[in-house]
Chains A and B, each alone.
Chain A
């Protein structure tokens, strides 16, 4: 089955890194995956998105059109991409950064930025979100995402990133159990 995922936010939040790590993790899980970062003149503060297609079959068309899962970390990204989300799709948001309008389907919320700040560095917000995404969707195994995160981040921040991932993942599992 083909699953389309979109991560959206503003430049500097690590949206592209998130997509790259998630894509890499799919490789460790031995699944077919294509990752396409948004690519444009946007600098820090502009819109950024990561697009991932996961499938057990060969992936032909590489782009995301109507995501099954949309992860948004800014109001702008929410307003831009939420209308594209499939009707039965899942919306994942940073609840401090996105104010929902009416008529949402399934939503999973996490104060990812706040959690990251409490861990000591706001820069790991994306990893908190990635952990949450992994726990909520179970599309990627925990071992694979952990391996991909630790391989990507600088050596001296491994511990912090691991904590961020675990905190997000834990909350994702909790959300699932509810």
Chain B
């Protein structure tokens, strides 16, 4: 075990390396630049490849290619770059390419506030590319979690064959804190499922349990990668609604039907809570401080911190009958709020938004708790 003093960005890069990432393609952008910088230093030391691309479209394309070449691959960016990556994120979803995309959120829209925090790319992370697909997104609240959840992101990407988004925010990316690096043998690593049949019997998109085994280029199996609607052989079937039906249903269901397995929630003081704050990322730290303060005053307030944001834990929220009000605290104008509302009903949800540039203070949240208590 090693104890380090890392920023969220460096912890994320180290997490990637610990997870087995050996290919990084990126185009540095504030506030994610230290990830690229650190990967440029570290990857050559572990026999990996770092490449600075001409832009974010190419960066995303490069990591898809690297993944099909057999590598665990990652890119890191922020809002404007994340927008440019969307087309190829969709290609990654369609071609079921394991990869990790880190988005260190700054305040937007557009170039917005390059050096300051935002949490407004939540919905973009889900459906930023066109067409119907499901994706996985994780949200760390500390440098330690930047390390841990980046490893988890790689494991989920490999297991479900999907691009996984690590939705960091500027605050956690630049915050330095203690990070414990476990010994290598203590870190759980998942690798993509490989074909078990001989090459002449292999159908690259035939899935028995939603997720087909993946053969990479050069392993002796036929590899066919296309963004067009494709059958189990990987051949384009761009005029067959039946093939489209089967494929897109499977792309979505492999995530939706496994939500329980990916669920990752920190509950704090929820046992007897009547009001639950829902938050994620750095903002959840302020929310926790506010809950502690409210508890001292005798208010029955708890915290639900989402570490896995997508797929959204619908069943979990549906089961929280005892909660009178949900107070969603996020640095945007109400994105996770929509998801909570969808599950528990509009009249049980309150929002404490912030447009970006700073996170909420515990005082602001506490004040809102008092307000909600009077309404309940």
Contact = CB atoms under 8 A, between A and B. Distances in A.
Bind each other: yes
B176 A36 contact: yes
Contacts of B361: 61, 65
Contact of B5 (A24, A36, A62, A63): A24
Contacts of A59: 177, 285
Contacts of A63: 359
Contacts of A34: 175-177
Contacts of A41: 115
Contacts of A23: 5, 176
Nearest to B365: A61
A82 interface: no
Given A27-B3, A60-B285, A60-B292, A39 B175 contact: no
A57 B177 CA distance: 14
B175 A61 contact: no
Given A27-B5, A61-B289, A61-B361, A36 B174 contact: yes
A37 B115 CA distance: 12
> Size band of the B side of the interface?
20 to 34
Nearest to B31: A39
Given A34-B176, A35-B175, A36-B175, A60 B5 contact: no
Interface string A12-45: 0000000010011001000011111101110000
B145 to A, nearest CB: 13
B31 A33 contact: no
A22 to B, nearest CB: 10
Contacts of A61: 285-286, 289, 361-362
Interface string B165-194: 000001100111110000000000000000
A27 B178 contact: yes
Interface in B288-340: 288-289, 292
Interface string B262-291: 000000000000000000001001101100
Interface in A39-90: 39-41, 59-63, 65
Given A60-B288, A60-B292, A32 B282 contact: no
Contacts of A40: 115
A118 to B, nearest CB: 31
Interface string B114-133: 01000000000000000000
B176 A35 contact: yes
A51 B137 CA distance: 30
Task: Identify the interface centre among B115, B175, B286, B362: most chain A CB within 10 Å of its CB.
Answer: B175
Interface of A: 20, 23-24, 27, 32-37, 39-41, 59-63, 65
5 contacts: A23-B5, A33-B177, A39-B115, A59-B177, A62-B282
Given A35-B175, A60-B286, A61-B286, 15 more contacts: A27-B5, A33-B178, A34-B175, A34-B176, A35-B176, A37-B174, A37-B176, A39-B31, A41-B115, A60-B285, A61-B285, A62-B171, A62-B175, A62-B285, A63-B359
